Amino acid sequence: MASDMNDYFNKKKSEGGAKKSTGGSGGGGPKGPQMPEMPNLNFGGGKAALSYLIIAVIVLLILAKPFTVIQEGERGILSTNGRYQDQPLLPGLHFIIPVIQKVYVVDTKVRIINYAAHIEATNRTSGIVTKRAVTVLDKRGLPVSIELTVQYRLNAKFAAKTISNWGFSWENKIINPVVRDVVRNVVGKYDAELLPMKRDIIATEIEEGLRKNIASLKNSPAILQSVQLRDIILPQKVKDQIERVQIAKQEVQKAQQDVQRAKQEALKKAAQAQGVAQQARIEAKGHADAITIQADAQAKANLLISKSLTPKLLQLEQIKVQGKFNDALRVNKDAKIFLTPGGSTPNIWVDTKDAQKRTTAK
């Protein structure tokens, strides 16, 4: 570039000398010194200027950032000169006026607060926050700690109004105070030793109280998803008292079970004895029935026999018996015979040789 400039000035110098000599020959007066003309630096003309302008505009846009992108699960709060717009910005691309307008992004996804006795380190960006367990006084003034989990989210419809009224720390101004206030009011109605037995009732009352209080706030800033009562931490002396009561109840239950077992055993033995007695009665009745049947049969047989005994048959039997006595007399001639009056049988005979020996013949 320097050599080109030198060539240019040398050329102009030679051209100036030639004009001077020509002017002198023409009779014209000499002219004063002439300023050299600057070269026309051409860098591509209008196209280059336009390119530079476009680049400058792009750089300006990048630095000013006149747009914002709202992700799903978020809402944008548009501020114009420090004043919030009532309607939140929905997910998508939105253009703004740099410097004058600004967009604040708020999270509308479900968030969780864990009220626990032991605080664990949590990442707030995960939407989970851990706070101290709610310490309350029972009906008698004994301290009780309540562990619970509260799930909630920002009401996207009124997100701008919520931020305008409560600020970006709206959770600490709405959710946390309401939870602690409701838990104190509910648990404070019961004695500490009754809390474990009324756990379900207390959990329901806490959830209903939270929903009612949060819903009563203007523009419904938050939506309560769920409330879980995780644990009821009682004072040690209350735990000891409950344990003693439980042991006493178990002993009473054991005694009742022993009594019930004894009753069942007595009933079993009584049933067995009743069964044995019933069996004996049945057997006796069966034996009596057998005797009765046998007697009835014998009576019927006797009746039939008596009906069959005729005078001639009796005479025949008498003759048979007399024959037997006659046979006996042949063997023992000293025997004495006693005839039944009327000639009926049996007849009795006595051996005179042996007074103690007696025989009955039929």
DSSP per-residue letters across 233-292: E--HHHHHHHHHHHHHHHHHHHHHHHHHHHHHHHHHHHHHHHHHHHHHHHHHHHHHHHHH
Q: How far apart are CA 88 and CA 161, in angstroms?
A: 9
- The pLDDT score that the predictor gives to residue 180 is 94
pLDDT digits (tens, 9 = 90+) for 268-307: 888 888 888 888 888 888 888 888 888 888 888 877 777 7
Asked whether residue 44 carries a pLDDT value surpassing 80, the answer given is no
Residue that is last in its domain, among 47, 81, 107: 107
Asked whether residue 201 carries a pLDDT value surpassing 60, the answer given is yes
What is the CB neighbour count within 10 angstroms for residue 182? 22
> Are residues 182 and 277 both part of a single domain?
no
> Are residues 127 and 219 both part of a single domain?
yes
pLDDT band for position 111 (cuts 50, 70, 90): very high
- The pLDDT score that the predictor gives to residue 25 is 41
Task: Judge whether 72 lies within some domain.
Answer: yes
- The pLDDT score that the predictor gives to residue 203 is 94
- The pLDDT score that the predictor gives to residue 41 is 44
Asked whether residue 315 carries a pLDDT value surpassing 50, the answer given is yes
Residue that is last in its domain, among 179, 209, 234: 234
pTM of the model: 0.53
**Tokens at 273, concatenated:** 């004895």
Among 14-23, 162-171, 225-234, 311-320, the least confident range: 14-23
Greater pLDDT, 320 or 3: 320
**Mean pLDDT of all residues in 213-237:** 90
Greater pLDDT, 336 or 9: 336
SS3 (DSSP) at 40: coil
Greater pLDDT, 43 or 201: 201
- The pLDDT score that the predictor gives to residue 98 is 81
Exposed (0-12), middle (13-18) or buried (19+): which is 338, by Cβ within 10 Å? exposed
Contacts of 145 (CB under 8 A, 6+ apart): 117, 133, 134, 135, 136, 232, 233
Asked whether residue 43 carries a pLDDT value surpassing 60, the answer given is no
> Are residues 301 and 315 both part of a single domain?
no
Asked whether residue 255 carries a pLDDT value surpassing 70, the answer given is yes
Greater pLDDT, 13 or 57: 57
Exposed (0-12), middle (13-18) or buried (19+): which is 221, by Cβ within 10 Å? buried
DSSP label at residue 89? B
Asked whether residue 226 carries a pLDDT value surpassing 80, the answer given is yes
pLDDT band for position 38 (cuts 50, 70, 90): very low
pLDDT digits (tens, 9 = 90+) for 124-152: 667 888 999 999 998 888 899 999 999 99
Question: What are the helix (H) ranges across 147-194?
Answer: 159-166, 170-187
Task: Judge whether 5 lies within some domain.
Answer: no
pLDDT band for position 52 (cuts 50, 70, 90): confident
Task: Domain count for the chain, please give it.
Answer: 4
- The pLDDT score that the predictor gives to residue 338 is 61
- Looking at the chain, the whole-number percentage of residues with pLDDT higher than 90 is 22
Greater pLDDT, 211 or 97: 211
> Are residues 188 and 256 both part of a single domain?
no
Asked whether residue 82 carries a pLDDT value surpassing 60, the answer given is yes
Asked whether residue 118 carries a pLDDT value surpassing 70, the answer given is yes
Query: How far does CA 240 lie from the centroid of its chain?
Result: 28
pLDDT band for position 9 (cuts 50, 70, 90): very low
> Are residues 164 and 151 both part of a single domain?
yes
Nearest to 67 by CA among 97, 87, 40: 97
**Tokens at 197, concatenated:** 């037995």
Task: Judge whether 203 lies within some domain.
Answer: yes
> Are residues 94 and 125 both part of a single domain?
no
Which structural domain range is residue 258 located in? 237-308
Q: How far apart are CA 74 and CA 64, in angstroms?
A: 23
- The HSE-up count of residue 203 (CA atoms within 13 Å, CB side) is 16
Q: How far apart are CA 32 and CA 23, in angstroms?
A: 12
- The pLDDT score that the predictor gives to residue 354 is 56
Task: Judge whether 183 lies within some domain.
Answer: yes
pLDDT digits (tens, 9 = 90+) for 67-81: 889 999 889 998 888
> Are residues 259 and 301 both part of a single domain?
yes
Asked whether residue 15 carries a pLDDT value surpassing 60, the answer given is no
> Are residues 95 and 72 both part of a single domain?
yes
